Structure 1
Amino acid sequence: MTTHSPVALRELSGNQLFIVRSEGDRHVVRPAGVADQVQSILRNDPEAFLAKSILVCEGASEIGLARGLDQYGVEDHNHTSFFAYGGAYVNAGGSTPDLCLEKALVLRRLGYNVTAFIDADKEPTPALLATLAAEGVGLLTWRAGRTLEDELFMCMTEAAIDSLLGYAIERIGRDDVAEHIRSKSQGQRTLEDIELEREEQGVYAAATRELLGRAARVKKSGWFKSVSAYQHVGRRIVGPQLQNAEPGFIDVMNRLWAWTHAA
């Protein structure tokens, strides 16, 4: 039997799934296999097996950001969506970059066009990185030591940070945002201090930006840690204000856009 239904795929075991591809003048049949990564994708992101190109993301944050940017391009600039190009997302679960890279490698070996999107606060295993590069898996990541939250608060404009702070307060409440700032600064800074700094100086100091990035990613209580929240960030904040961001951040976003919109 063949299927175009992710509902059917979700019920399968990896040893029941085979991918058929045309290669030159013949067809090749590859068993999906019984690796843990395969079974995890079948349960959580089965539509990936029906796609041509797959963005394997370290966690929900990266998926949300990519989806939001895609939505911004479709709705504001009439671009074709990643889904229309035959794309799909896989959520690696946000644990380690190696897990994300391993899932990307499994899908690549099944014949998919794959790029992995990871944070840079934890070093992936060098041998795994070398294997991915040799087998044609793309890699998107931030500058060394940085997470997505670091990049947002260190690289976006003052107006964008205003919007990020406002959205964080709207999502989780002013008290929790203030507590995260106080905790991550060891009691040296407050939300009110930061708002006053912005009002009086017209900018956020570099140290303030760095603090906000750390506060925004408090473990299990991150300001935007969900697909829907980061989709809003990508659609309403990053997309519309990207052109004025720091060049290194723009470069990563442009490479993400170029890969997800390659016909």
Structure 2
Amino acid sequence: MMLRRLRIEHFRGIKSAEWTINRRLIGLVGAGDSTKTTLLDAIGLVLNPNYSPQFTDADFFGLDLTKNVVIEAAISDLPDNLVKESQLGKDRSGIMPDGTLVHDPVDGAEECLVVRLTVTPELEPTWEVVRPESDDARPITAGQRRQLGFFRLGDLPDFHLRWARGSALSNLIDGGNGAASVILGAHREARAAVFNTQPNALHAAAATAQRAAGNFGAAKFGKLRPGLEPSSATSAHALVLHDGEVPLSSLGLGTRRLTSLSIQDQATEDGSIIAIDEVEHGLEPHRLAQALHHLKKRTSADGLQVIMTTHSPITVKSLSAGDFVVVHADGAGATTCYPVPDDLDTVQGTFRSAPEALLGRRVLVGEGATEVGFLRGLLRHWDSERIAADQAPSAAIGTVVVNGGGGTQSTQRAQIFRNLGYPTCMLIDNDDRSIDHSVKDAEAVGVEVCRWTSGSALEDEVVRALPAEGLQAVVDLAVEIRGAQSILATVGAKLGHSPLTGIVVDRWQAQTGIDAQKIRTAIAGAAKTKHNEWFKREDRGEELATVVIAHWAGLEETHLMKVIGQLRAFAYPTAPDPMESEPGEPAADD
């Protein structure tokens, strides 16, 4: 079986969603509260093999009880028994390669069943097989739904480590009844063993109870004695997997969950649809990677379909980019699923270099390490202001900083995230004309581009804009990084002057006879000297941001602060301009 299409109306956090599916292994990624788990729950309910799952008012979007919950799933690769004319063969529909449903499985369409679950405000569920372009509907029984092969892996891990009625471990026994006979025989032997024990404190207590009961006239007992309760023999819950003498139920969560998952996997039949919520829960990276490898192999070889949710960068790195679907919720009830295109050259590298971005809501792409550090420094400052003002920091908003990798690769990565539905902003230099065309391509798909003055990199813009004391702070920072002699030599070389003396910028003009503006240009050039850059690391870019923040008062009209204002407005969508408050003062209310 294979889920090919899912439509949801008015269910929990989803007012509406339509998802067309063409893959057998699917990792649902996206920010928290993007309704990933709700999608799995919806699939589980519409394909539910039970007769009466429980519904509550909370299952209705916005607790609005004036509308029905509707969940509709199109399933292909149907089992032969289910499509017999005596079963549901006359109710088959067709699904085109693009996910469009048609009334009949005509040429070019794959046959499918469209199963619809409707839940009324009276909390009454109805399962039906429906057909597009028709009002006809036919009930589908729990037994018929069971043939669709849906299985939720990883739920109730301890339950599936026991030979209990309905557990996956019991399903591994032919007929599923072997555990009951084993536990019954073991219990009878245990009862006999307790009866045959030598007199002990339990027997003395039983004799005391018999005498006391006689005094009260309770009954005339023959002989009270300790024994095991016979009714407990009907419960196979007592029969649990052991590792030697140790019950598996006492082991760690990761081991219990992974063992339970493996048992459930073995209990599924070929052609099943398997759902796993938070596949990484309780697992170390190496065990998670092995579990993912096995599941992917199963989908390729055994015709299974696996749909999982994840918040783990390890999962993103372990699977192929084309295995993922990005889920976005717009906050008003609309959920959108974006399959990741696997035909783009840079998708795989983008995901593995920045897996955390897939788990956020807004993506800030820094051209390189300096820009990434600079952005992080700004966000940390703004976050502290907002926390002091009882406002949401960037982490709560879901703004994630990504290293673009430099040049056109940065614009390509920005386009990928934007095409997957993420609001995306890119901070890049403006001193390389060869990337102008790719910058326009990024803007054309909706990427917000922040660039410095034409011909300038970040270092140029900072050195040009800062007041004298800020410029001195930049040079002092460079001295801490590279050492005084290196700074004096590289700046002197840019000025065409012998090595300068003294790390005091104001004195360099007197030493060289060169005007202040050219000295600033030389400082910026020295900061970018190839193989000897001052700030070409994320931590150094962050330190540079700290210097700028400490000295940006009075720079409101500069291009530097215009760009910084754009960055803040993107990171905090309703935030005021950064210059509305001085550094260290709380920002105005959003």
Match of 2:414 in 1: 104
CA distance in 1 between counterparts of 2:548 and 2:352 reads 31
Match of 2:315 in 1: 8
TM-score, normalising length from structure 1?
A: 0.88
Q: Which of 553, 562, 566 is matched with 1:255 structurally?
A: 566
- Partner letter of residue 453 of structure 2? R
- Partner letter of residue 339 of structure 2? R
CA distance in 1 between counterparts of 2:468 and 2:506 reads 14
- Partner letter of residue 310 of structure 2? T
SS at match of 1:218: coil
Match of 2:17 in 1: none
Deviation (angstroms), 1:15:
2.0
* Residue correspondence of structure 1 range 172-251 to structure 2 within 5 A: 172-187=482-497, 190=500, 192=502, 195=505, 197=507, 205-235=516-546, 237-245=547-555, 247-251=558-562
CA distance in 2 between counterparts of 1:5 and 1:233 reads 31
Q: Which of 335, 339, 361 is matched with 1:30 structurally?
A: 339
Q: Deviations over 1:156-175 (max 9, x none)?
A: 11111111111110111112
Match of 1:88 in 2: 400
Deviation (angstroms), 1:32:
4.4
- Kindly tell me: are residues 51 and 124 of structure 1, through their superposed partners in 2, closer, same or farther at Cα, counting changes over 3 Å? farther
Which segments of 5 or more consecutive residues in structure 1 lack a partner in the other structure? none
Match of 1:151 in 2: 461
Superposed CA RMSD: 2.5
- Kindly tell me: are residues 208 and 66 of structure 1, through their superposed partners in 2, closer, same or farther at Cα, counting changes over 3 Å? same
- Partner letter of residue 424 of structure 2? V
Q: Would the aligned equivalents of 1:10 and 1:46 in 2 still touch at CA under 8 Å?
A: yes
Q: Which of 117, 126, 129 is matched with 2:439 structurally?
A: 129
Deviation (angstroms), 1:30:
1.3
Q: Deviations over 1:97-147 (max 9, x none)?
A: x22111111111111110111000002545433332232110000000001
CA distance in 2 between counterparts of 1:241 and 1:193 reads 19
CA distance in 1 between counterparts of 2:423 and 2:394 reads 13
Q: Which of 449, 457, 470 is matched with 1:139 structurally?
A: 449
Q: Would the aligned equivalents of 2:489 and 2:499 in 1 still touch at CA under 8 Å?
A: no
Match of 1:63 in 2: 372
CA distance in 2 between counterparts of 1:41 and 1:30 reads 15
SS at match of 2:424: strand
TM-score, normalising length from structure 2?
A: 0.41
SS at match of 1:84: helix
- Kindly tell me: are residues 195 and 156 of structure 1, through their superposed partners in 2, closer, same or farther at Cα, counting changes over 3 Å? closer
Q: Which of 419, 423, 431 is matched with 1:113 structurally?
A: 423
Deviation (angstroms), 1:194:
5.9
- Kindly tell me: are residues 232 and 127 of structure 1, through their superposed partners in 2, closer, same or farther at Cα, counting changes over 3 Å? closer
Q: Would the aligned equivalents of 1:19 and 1:32 in 2 still touch at CA under 8 Å?
A: no
Q: Would the aligned equivalents of 2:320 and 2:348 in 1 still touch at CA under 8 Å?
A: yes
Higher strand share: 2
SS at match of 2:346: helix
After superposing the two structures, state which structure 1 stretch, 219-228 or 78-87, moved more. 78-87
Q: Would the aligned equivalents of 2:459 and 2:528 in 1 still touch at CA under 8 Å?
A: yes
SS at match of 2:319: coil
Higher relative contact order (CA 8 A, sep 6+): 1
Q: Would the aligned equivalents of 1:177 and 1:191 in 2 still touch at CA under 8 Å?
A: no
Q: Deviations over 1:187-228 (max 9, x none)?
A: 356254864526979xx8111111100001111221111111
Higher helix share: 1
CA distance in 1 between counterparts of 2:442 and 2:506 reads 47
- Kindly tell me: are residues 211 and 85 of structure 1, through their superposed partners in 2, closer, same or farther at Cα, counting changes over 3 Å? same
- Kindly tell me: are residues 80 and 123 of structure 1, through their superposed partners in 2, closer, same or farther at Cα, counting changes over 3 Å? farther
Q: Would the aligned equivalents of 2:509 and 2:516 in 1 still touch at CA under 8 Å?
A: no
- Partner letter of residue 224 of structure 1? F
CA distance in 1 between counterparts of 2:340 and 2:413 reads 16
Which segments of 5 or more consecutive residues in structure 2 lack a partner in the other structure? 1-307, 575-590
Q: Would the aligned equivalents of 2:383 and 2:394 in 1 still touch at CA under 8 Å?
A: no
SS at match of 1:243: coil
Q: Deviations over 1:218-259 (max 9, x none)?
A: 112211111111112212x11122122362211111111111
CA distance in 2 between counterparts of 1:206 and 1:242 reads 19
The reply on whether 1:43 has 2:352 as its aligned counterpart is yes
Identity %: 27
- Partner letter of residue 323 of structure 2? Q
Number of equivalences: 258
Deviation (angstroms), 1:42:
2.0
- Partner letter of residue 255 of structure 1? Q
Q: Which has the larger Rg?
A: 2
After superposing the two structures, state which structure 1 stretch, 248-257 or 238-247, moved more. 238-247
CA distance in 2 between counterparts of 1:8 and 1:191 reads 54
CA distance in 2 between counterparts of 1:102 and 1:238 reads 29
CA distance in 1 between counterparts of 2:560 and 2:373 reads 17
- Partner letter of residue 340 of structure 2? P
CA distance in 1 between counterparts of 2:362 and 2:339 reads 17
SS at match of 1:242: coil
CA distance in 1 between counterparts of 2:434 and 2:375 reads 22
